[in-house]
């Protein structure tokens, strides 16, 4: 049987009128709640397309199921797994990266701009607002609800223009305040839609990164730092090209990833979120005609900075999105490093270096009862790949726009939440996987004891120091392609013409003690990682 959904879960005809609103935004908040779920299809005219391979009985059964338990099916009918299967793990992004979030920040920008106009002395038509009027306008922002967003969507059905719908909504909303009602036409004054949108997108990204993404990234880095310190002295056989190599410690290998991720995390934190507010083609054309005595570039800079964004003075119609490209490229690099970690840990689990703590009731394989699969790291790797695909397109496409502006960025920008959402999902999977890991020191030690050939490196290096001819060649003849044992290594060392003290030190070496400065590198990882 084949089932092809003809519409997404979010159908306006099926959307019930919500009774709750989202909490106010706060840049200091580390979490965010989003108290509505994807709506059911009750009362919706949309219907799934059932292929001709489906029997009539199957069709009837499917349609019957959809009408009998629609609330349960809301997650099942979402086209994106982020809005269905994985909703519970990514929903804290929804207040920022959803359509609701975009509309909310548009409303915020429009109101803040009206308030800014009231503070410009030359614009006498918009006198300074009273405390009551300012409080009323702030209340529209703080009390903005899903009902308000749905009302704007209904207006958009008529205007066929999303930003104009916000303007009309605000004019309707503010008619009840006598003071604001006198200046309704100054909503969206001298603005192009992109003036509103680019600031909304900047705020969406800044809040999503600061409130949701950075805290989870920091948890990963902190977890790796803890793993590094806890296992600083746990010796481990290295593998280069998949073959036994000079030993390291498990802690030091975890420290490498902590430092790499921390470096990218720092790069991400230094990205400036830019905004423009210069009108239709970036020259303040309409502004200057209406109020020639106002220093509009200065006003625009003050306004953009008041929102917590950095000002971009040289733009066409759009903000040129270069900072977004930088942000998404840095996210891709963070994700690539995490893919490397996921694959390494997957391999260590395969070698038996890690055991995985099991959970009662969980099943690893539908046919092999013994299996405990590394599914968290596999899930993370897969979602990081999906994320990077989307983020790569965003970073490559967004800085390119024909002449002063084309509309290709608009539809692409609506997908920012996809790449970020799959990244968040992956981060949480990695953290879940780390929480299940249990070091198997016996297995680590077993591998080291079987690889005495790794001591060929220090022996030939000491031989070089003391002038023994052809040291590399002699060790190559002893070890390459041959079984090397503790006894054969000791016999070779005993026969060397080097000082007794040097010979004694070599005889003390074992595969598990030949780890160089690995212990200290692992112990000092937090200083190196420079956690933010």
d(CA 449, CA 452) in angstroms, rounded, equals 7
Alpha-carbon 330 to chain mean position: 10
Residues ≥6 apart with Cβ < 8 Å to 12: 150, 153, 154, 157
DSSP assignment, residue 238?
E
d(CA 103, CA 392) in angstroms, rounded, equals 25
Q: Is 354 helix (H, G, I), strand (E, B) or coil?
A: strand
Answer for the pair 6, 46: CB distance below 8 angstroms, yes or no: yes
Residue that is written with structure tokens 């016996």 in the block: 442
DSSP assignment, residue 269?
H
Catalytic, 287? Answer no
Find, among 397, 486, 385, 365, the residue nearest to 429 by Cα: 385
Find, among 195, 196, 202, the residue nearest to 272 by Cα: 202
d(CA 77, CA 47) in angstroms, rounded, equals 11
DSSP assignment, residue 213?
I
Find, among 185, 199, 393, 212, the residue nearest to 290 by Cα: 185
Q: Which of 365, 370, 422, 445 is catalytic?
A: 365
Q: Which of 28, 53, 241, 366 is catalytic?
A: 241
Answer for the pair 419, 383: CB distance below 8 angstroms, yes or no: no
Q: If residue 243 lies in a helix (H) or strand (E), which one and from where to where? A: strand 243-249
Q: In DSSP terms, which residues pair with 236 in a beta bridge?
A: 248
| b/e per residue 456-482 (b: at least 16 CB within 10 A) | bbbbbebbeeeeeeebeebbeebbeee
Catalytic, 241? Answer yes
Answer for the pair 524, 257: CB distance below 8 angstroms, yes or no: no
Residue that is written with structure tokens 């949108």 in the block: 197
d(CA 146, CA 105) in angstroms, rounded, equals 13
Give just the sign of the alpha carbon dihedral 411, 416, 417, 423: positive
Give just the sign of the alpha carbon dihedral 361, 367, 373, 379: negative
Q: What are residue 308's phi and psi, to 5 degrees?
A: 90, 15
d(CA 229, CA 254) in angstroms, rounded, equals 9
First-residue to last-residue Cα distance in the chain = 52
DSSP assignment, residue 98?
S
Q: In DSSP terms, which residues pair with 245 in a beta bridge?
A: 238
Catalytic residues: 241, 365
């Amino acid at each position: 049987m084949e089932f092809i959904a003809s519409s997404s879960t979010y159908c306006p005809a099926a959307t019930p009128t919500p009774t709750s609103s989202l909490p106010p935004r706060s840049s200091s908040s580390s979490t965010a709640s989003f108290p509505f779920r994807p709506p059911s299809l009750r009362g919706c005219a949309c219907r799934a397309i059932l292929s001709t391979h489906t029997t009539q009985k199957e069709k009837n059964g499917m349609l019957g199921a959809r009408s009998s338990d629609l609330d349960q099916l809301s997650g099942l009918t979402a086209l994106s797994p982020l809005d269905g299967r994985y909703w519970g793990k990514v929903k804290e992004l929804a207040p920022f990266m959803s359509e609701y979030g975009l509309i909310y920040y548009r409303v915020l920008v429009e109101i803040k701009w009206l308030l800014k106009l009231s503070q410009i002395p030359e614009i006498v038509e918009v006198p300074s607002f009273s405390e009551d009027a300012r409080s009323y306008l702030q209340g529209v922002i703080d009390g903005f609800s899903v009902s308000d967003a749905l009302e704007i969507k209904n207006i958009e059905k008529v205007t066929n223009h999303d930003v104009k719908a916000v303007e009309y909504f605000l004019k309707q909303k503010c008619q009840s305040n006598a003071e604001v009602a006198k200046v309704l036409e100054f909503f969206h004054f001298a603005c192009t839609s992109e003036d509103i949108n680019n600031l909304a997108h900047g705020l969406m990204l800044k809040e999503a990164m600061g409130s949701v993404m950075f805290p989870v990234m920091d948890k990963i880095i902190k977890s790796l730092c803890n793993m590094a310190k806890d296992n600083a002295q746990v010796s481990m056989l290295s593998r280069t090209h998949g073959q036994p190599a000079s030993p390291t410690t498990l802690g030091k290998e975890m420290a490498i990833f902590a430092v790499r991720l921390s470096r990218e995390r720092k790069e991400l934190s230094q990205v400036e979120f830019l905004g423009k507010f210069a009108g239709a083609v970036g020259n303040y054309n309409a502004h200057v005609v209406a109020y020639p005595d106002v220093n509009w570039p200065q006003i625009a800079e003050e306004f953009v900075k008041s929102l917590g964004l950095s000002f971009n003075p040289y733009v066409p119609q759009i903000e040129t999105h270069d900072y977004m490209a930088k942000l998404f490229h840095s996210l891709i690099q963070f994700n690539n490093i995490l893919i490397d970690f996921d694959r390494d840990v997957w391999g260590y689990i395969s070698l038996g270096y890690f055991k995985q703590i099991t959970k009662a009731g969980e099943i690893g394989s539908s046919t092999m009862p013994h299996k405990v699969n590394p599914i968290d790291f596999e899930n993370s790797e897969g979602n990081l790949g999906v994320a990077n695909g989307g983020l790569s397109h965003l970073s490559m496409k967004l800085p390119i726009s024909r002449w002063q502006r084309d509309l290709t960025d608009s539809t692409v920008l609506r997908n920012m939440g996809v790449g970020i959402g799959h990244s968040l999902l992956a981060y949480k999977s990695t953290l879940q996987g780390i929480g299940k890991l249990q070091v198997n020191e016996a297995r680590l030690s077993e591998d080291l004891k079987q690889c005495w050939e790794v001591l060929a490196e220090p022996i030939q290096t000491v031989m070089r120091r003391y002038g023994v001819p052809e040291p590399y060649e002699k060790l190559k003849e002893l070890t390459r392609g041959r079984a090397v044992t503790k006894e054969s290594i000791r016999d070779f060392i005993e026969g060397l013409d080097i000082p007794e003290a040097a010979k004694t030190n070599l005889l003390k070496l074992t595969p598990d003690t030949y780890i160089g400065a690995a212990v200290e590198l692992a112990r000092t990882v937090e200083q190196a990682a420079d956690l933010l």
